[in-house]
A = this chain, B = another copy of it.
Amino acid sequence: MIIDCHGHYTTEPAGLGVFRDRQLAGLVDATRRPTTTNLGITDDEIRQSLEGAQLKLQRERGTDVTIFSPRASGMAHHVGTAQTSAEWTRICNDLIHRVCTLYPRNFVGVCQLPQSPGVEPRRCGEELERCVTELGFIGCNLNPDPSGGYWRDPPLSDRWWYPLYEKMVDLDVPAMIHVSSSCNPCFHATGAHYINADTSAFMQFLTSDLFRDFPTLKFIIPHGGGAVPYHWGRYRGLAQDMKRPPLSEHLLNNVFFDTCVYHLPGIELLTKVIPIDNILFASEMVGAVRGVDPQTGHNYDDTARYLHQVAALSDQDRCKIFEGNARKVYGRLNSYLERRERLSPVESTA
């Protein structure tokens, strides 16, 4: 089985963008505020938005299930107020729920959180609980920088975040660390801000004792862990200089990396330096890079191909990366997969 732990709904029907424009217009001109949260999006529009994109790619690449969340750059927690974020988040999560309901064999949900700069993360607990207990979601995307590139909230190791972590532990769901768009002109979103956030989060964990306080808390650092595996010697050395335990003890029961690294040498390095038990298959499709690599003739983001090309991986290693590790990290995935087993194949094509 192939489980892709990192997919975003980047092909949303136009109705979502129309609502968002009205919502933000309403912040500066109340007469333009949308009068309903009904997006007017039909099931057929949702089907169309996925059939030629995520579902087509799932079929072509042999992916069984994608752990699916709202467009990351769309979260834009830095825009508007906490109320803006709360309303927008609920709408985006409900749309993911519709996707998962239409295609229960193909998608399982992960939610966006109603974060807002300077607003306590504890206020995200209610929406997380709704998504997990009512909508059947199995995780959340946690934005370590709701300011959108100015990094004004406390680091992830700060007690500021603890009430949200308590809720995650209670609900048995992990978070993928994922920033949104950047409003800082120094940071290109997918080329710099995303990768920097991954690296920064890892270092925030490294310099803290967060996982002594939360031994079962789990994070996935996407985009292959930012710069971390490439600089694994630096991180091992920094931990050592700081008299921290070896990274394997200090962080690797709680921190996992996805495989969104878009060339074979990167995947080779990732699978060489990071323990296999800490790597989860992901492609981020349809995502940051959409083209075909002229060097291979295949899509950059067809990361399963690279994993199949790494000679050093055993079949057992690949099983862990494609399936087993996701089952361990997402505590609620197994029961979803059991329900999925009982679905008729007809339902798989909605």
Among A157-210, those with CB < 8 Å from B are 158, 184-188, 190-192, 195-196, 199-200, 203-204, 206-207
CB closest residue in chain B, given A196:
B196
Determine the chain B residues whose CB is within 8 A of the CB of A185 once the complex forms: 154-155, 158
- State whether the Cβ of A144 lies closer than 8 Å to any Cβ in chain B: yes
When the two chains form the complex, which single residue of B150, B238, B273, B300 contacts A289, counting CB atoms closer than 8 Å?
A: B238
Q: Does chain B have a CB within 8 A of A261? A: yes
Q: Do B269 and A230 touch across chains, with their CB atoms under 8 A apart?
A: yes
- Residues of chain B within 8 A (CB-CB) of A153 are 186
Query: Contact at A233–B263, with CB atoms within 8 Å?
Result: yes
Asked if B186 and A192 make an inter-chain contact with CB atoms under 8 angstroms apart, the answer reads: no
Contacts of A328 in B (CB 8 A): none
A226 to B149, CA, bound (A): 18
Contacts of A190 in B (CB 8 A): 234, 238
A283 to chain B, nearest CB (A): 12
Complex interface residues of chain A between 294 and 350 (CB less than 8 A to chain B): 300-301
B contact residues around A32 at 8 Å (CB)? none
What would be 11 A-B contacts, judged by CB atoms less than 8 Å apart?
Answer: A150-B151, A186-B204, A190-B238, A191-B234, A191-B235, A196-B227, A234-B263, A237-B262, A237-B293, A265-B272, A266-B269
